[in-house]
């Protein structure tokens, strides 16, 4: 059988583009997963995302994964028209700097929930040399259409809409699956990319006029309801011929992310014993390390069932010492402060859990209620 016709016809599909993108990623040191399937939680159907690629780097106690979720589309007869207007960066109803990241490290998880953290991530990455990936969108893309290359006639938005929803739902699925799948200390940062084997045409609406221009890439801020929660995601449309060159910027992002997450990890532990909010994040870990030893030795040596369950940290500026307050009498507290094993265990727990290496003593909790 002559296979020439099959070789020719398969080039009309998007699989050639998908393979080219995958090979470019592998050649630049990315690990690639092709055609990953997941269950759409809204439609209860199986969906597919073309490519997931990642690079990993050891940072502090966790592994940092920079992840690219990629959709590949090809159109021989249509261009992708992106309808745009001036971007209002001050719009309070729009999140121009979405950051989709997940971590099972308690310090990083706390930092990721802090106000303004996503914008800080983008700003610091830009300072570190990341260019287009974190660039402020030049325009607001408010609609899109496939348009005939010869006549310019609008067709529909189905292929573009399909690429967008596939990317966002794949990201939502991965973020939801990580807590169950990943046990080793990890951080994941996601980026959504739509690689297009056709021209991208920006149609700019301004002052009652519409002007068109060919662009190599464009940022689209997608707003979507996933699991009854409004979500913003930045999706980057890239012409296929520009993709290989764009990879260098994503590699810069990976390096910048490593430095940024390391700084956030350090920031969490800096002066932590002076901040009740951060103390509370690790309180259960500290309790598990210390409670058993205090209860054991007080019962064994004093024959008193103290059963210490809670600790309150109180940093005293005047004495420059950490007071660990417990519900117990002064006699019990004195015994604990003078018990070598308890103090050794406490010192080790403070160092390993809170990264605190300074002086400490136990004290009576004097809160009246």
Find the mean pLDDT for residues 120-134.
96
Distance CA 98, CA 90 (A): 14
Find the mean pLDDT for residues 91-102.
92
- Does pLDDT of 14 surpass 90? no
Phi, psi of 303 (to 5 degrees): 60, 40
Percent of the chain past pLDDT 70, that is, above it, reads: 92
Instruction: Report the candidate in 264, 281, 344, 310 with the shortest Cα–Cα distance to residue 99.
Output: 264
Distance CA 199, CA 147 (A): 10
Residues 6+ apart with CB under 8 A from 259: 124, 128
Q: Side-chain half-sphere of 210: how many Cα atoms within 13 Å?
A: 7
Tokens describing residue 164: 């967008």
Does the CA dihedral 285-343-295-369 come out positive or negative? negative
Q: What is the mean pLDDT of the chain?
A: 91
- Does pLDDT of 304 surpass 80? no
- Does pLDDT of 355 surpass 70? yes
Residues 6+ apart with CB under 8 A from 21: 50, 51, 70, 72, 195, 240, 243
Q: Which of 40-54, 142-156, 257-271, 294-308 has the lowest average pLDDT?
A: 40-54
């Amino acid at each position: 059988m002559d296979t020439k016709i099959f070789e020719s016809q398969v080039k009309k599909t998007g699989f050639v583009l998908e393979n080219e993108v995958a090979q470019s990623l592998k050649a630049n040191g990315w690990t690639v997963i092709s055609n990953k399937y997941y269950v759409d939680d809204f439609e209860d159907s199986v969906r597919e995302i073309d490519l997931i690629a990642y690079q990993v780097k050891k940072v502090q106690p966790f592994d940092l994964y920079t992840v690219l979720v990629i959709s590949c589309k090809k159109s021989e007869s249509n261009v992708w028209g992106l309808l745009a207007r001036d971007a209002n960066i001050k719009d309070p109803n729009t999140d121009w700097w979405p950051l989709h990241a997940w971590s099972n490290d308690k310090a990083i998880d706390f930092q990721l929930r802090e106000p303004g953290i996503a914008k800080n991530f983008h700003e610091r990455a830009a300072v570190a040399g990341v260019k287009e990936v974190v660039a402020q969108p030049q325009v607001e893309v408010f609609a899109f259409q496939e348009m005939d290359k010869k006549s310019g006639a609008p067709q529909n938005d189905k292929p573009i809409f399909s690429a967008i929803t596939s990317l966002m739902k794949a990201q939502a699925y991965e973020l939801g699956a990580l807590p169950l799948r990943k046990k080793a200390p990890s951080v994941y940062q996601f980026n959504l990319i739509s690689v297009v084997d056709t021209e991208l045409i920006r149609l700019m609406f301004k002052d009652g006029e519409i002007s068109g221009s060919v662009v190599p890439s464009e940022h689209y801020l997608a707003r979507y309801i996933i699991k009854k929660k409004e979500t913003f995601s930045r999706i980057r449309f890239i012409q296929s011929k520009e993709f290989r060159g764009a990879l260098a910027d994503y590699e810069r992002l990976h390096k910048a992310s490593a430095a940024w997450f390391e700084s956030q990890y350090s920031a969490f532990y800096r002066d932590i014993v002076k901040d009740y909010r951060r103390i509370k994040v690790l309180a259960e870990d500290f309790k598990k390390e210390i409670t058993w030893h205090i209860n054991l030795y007080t019962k064994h040596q004093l024959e008193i069932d103290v059963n210490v369950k809670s600790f309150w940290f109180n940093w005293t500026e005047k004495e420059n010492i950490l007071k660990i307050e417990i519900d117990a009498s002064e006699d019990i507290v004195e015994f604990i402060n003078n018990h070598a094993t308890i103090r050794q265990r406490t010192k080790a727990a403070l160092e390993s859990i809170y990264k605190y290496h300074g002086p400490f003593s136990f004290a009576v909790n004097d809160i009246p209620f």
